[in-house]
Amino acid sequence: MPVPTHRESPTGSRTSRAHPLGVTLRGDGADVAVLAAHADAVEVCVFDDAGRETRTRLPDVELGVWHGHVPGLVAGSRYGLRVHGRWDPERGLRHNPAKLLLDPYAQGVEGEVALTPEIFGHVVDEDLEGDLAVADPRDSAPHVPRGVVLAPLPADLRVGEDERPRTPWADTVVYEAHVRGLTRRFPGVPEAERGTYAALAHPAVLEHLTSLGVTALELLPVHANTSEIALRRRGLSNYWGYNTLAFNAPHPGYATAAARAAGAEAVRAEFRRAVAALHAAGIEVVLDVVYNHTCEEGPDGPHLSLRGLDDATYYLRDAGGRPLDVTGCGNSLDFTDRRVVRFALDSLRHWVTEYGVDGFRFDLMTTLARGHDGYSPDHPFLVALGADPVLAGTKLIAEPWDVGPFGWRTGQFPPPLHEWNDRFRDGARRFWLSDAREIASGRSAPVAPGRGLPELATRFAGSADTFDVQRGRLTSVNFVTAHDGFTLADLTAYDRKHNEANGEGNRDGSDSDTSWNHGVEGGTTDPGVLAARRRSVRNLFATLVLSTGVPMITAGDEFGRSQGGNNNAYCQDNEVGWIDWDLQDWQRELLDDVRELLALRRRYPVLREAGVRRGSPVREQRSDLLWFSEDGEPMSVERWHEADRRVLQLLVDGRDRGETSVLVVLNGGPRRLDVVLPAVEGLAAFSPRWASTPGRAAGSCAAGAALPVDPWSVRVLATD
């Protein structure tokens, strides 16, 4: 990018029009409004094709919002902001007009952040270390991105309400994926489209998702982002994208080369077409969004947007005025301020109305609900989210924790939010992996009160110990793995993380012990170990898909993808992070089994609707779940408290609804057993439908008859 020269233009013309934040095209230019509540002046800087800069000072300020009309700022214009005012970092005053800032409301972004001293607001040396007290006078414009003004969407790309799938929560299956990681190596996708938004719309990708039974594609962040300074100095990048630069613009790096060359409008169009294609295939689009922090890192981080506009307003501080980080990422946005709440809501509505997005998963959402006294379920942001006519009808999912004081809040978010259920994740893993590891080694499983079989049953039934039943039994978004942590195959192949490639001495990533390598760490050719691992993967998948709640699958788990034991691949934009679609025979067999499981969930309403007919009130107690031991008798209180009990039969009873009943038989022990099927009035026989081990029984089994059940296995039977 050439070093710009600049010239002054007349002060932006005064106007009495309403001034929505950002750029609004009008007449010979655009109305511009920018929140900079502590600034003395704000300039809009427009760059021509040669990089020459024209600065226009905004003439008016009301309630901290500077606004005015800027002639010549038209669709396709590249622009930035310069802010004048005091430099007093300890008080959150970081105004430095030498630094070109990205408009927080920019809808398009062009250019990248260079790793140079000029991108910092304070003086730093070549090692990027310096003194916050001294403002840096060097111009950052040649080294930072520009915003791009976009015209309204053309008619053929506008969002039609009738295009949205609007899948009920009961029928929803979430598939969490990364745009590049999902498609970078996808067979059948042209090389020029691999790893891009365009690939999401390719028939081969859509066919995989629909044949699997996916109804909602949850994309890791697609907001324009950049990589942390420390990562870039190690020669790595923030592959996952949880480091937002622009909250209203799609990340240009995920567009095809042709779209990037054509500009921000083409990037927008490519993402919009991908959403439309997914909708046409019946798949909703959910975005993983990061409003808890920004890419500007800690107080000594780069000076790119919010920090230079209004550090004191946007960033969270403690009672003493010191920067407060409850995200672990160097900074936190301050949701005690109504203007920050508005900023997030404006951005969310933009993605719904402009792109047709169907929902959001909120990263570290506890941060977004912190008031002056900590987390509150009545926080203004949560109230506004549930009341907003645009957002309330979308799918809203909370990651219900952050790293601040009392940050773990699973089960405590209000409707209409659904929540990632880490208790489901941990309970399923403990039963099938870490407790099983102890039993297989000859040691007693370390079963604490409420753990083991009682815990697994509680998770299967919808985690009533965690979620208020009045919120509905589908509040829980169940998962065994996510982008953060081991893949499902690696959970069964590694006892320890192997994150050396991340360059942090293997200190990063979770140290959780809820995995089991089945006797060998990592790769092996031992057929017994491999069979045991694949059986455990199937057991976990069955628990996920058959349990009450909304299942979420991590992309690639359906056929056993591995990251080589790396449980924090956030910086691995390579074969570690990308999904390998060259499947071996065992992977195809696993994929077929997962498809069968999801087909069972679709086929039998009792598995999806949690015992409640649509439109009927939620009952306090579930009478549709019946629990039996291996002798076919109902589970007694005494049996629930037997710490070494590892066999359970779960009857999801559809009799009072006139529907098929489903029986799930779990054997979490090391011995093959003859399990007596329950004799329940009106249910004469059960037909095998699925099993996690080979050699599935054929034909129906009479109620009261004995069914051989392999060790460490799950069987599914139905009454149709």
The residue to which tokens 């949701």 are assigned:
335
Helix count and strand count (H, E) for the chain = 17, 34
Does residue 257 contact residue 191 with C-beta atoms inside 8 Å?
Answer: no
CA separation for the pair 359, 166 (Å, rounded): 10
How many beta carbons lie within 10 A of that of residue 670, not counting itself? 12
Kindly list the distances between the CA atom of residue 639 and the CA atoms of 23, 274, 623, 646, in Å, as whole numbers in the listed order: 66, 52, 19, 10
Q: Using CA atoms, how far apart are residues 216 and 202, in angstroms rounded to an integer?
A: 16
| Parallel/antiparallel/unpaired status of strands 78-84 and 146-148 | antiparallel
Catalytic residue positions?
A: 363, 399
CB 333 within 8 A of CB 314: yes
Cβ density class 546-579: b for 16+ within 10 Å, e for less: bbbbbbbbbbbbbbbbbbbbbbbbbbbbeebbbb
What is the C-alpha separation between 388 and 381, in angstroms, rounded? 10
Q: Nearest Cα to 411, choosing from 363, 333, 466?
A: 466
Secondary structure (3-state) at 424: helix
Measure the CA–CA gap between 47 and 147, rounded to whole angstroms: 10
C-alpha neighbours within 13 Å on the C-beta side of residue 613 = 7
Can you list the positions of beta strands (E) in 574-698?
625-628, 647-652, 662-667, 673-676, 685-691
Looking only at the bridges linking them, the beta strands covering 647-652 and 685-691 are: unpaired
Closest to 649 (Cα-Cα) out of 551, 715, 602, 718: 715
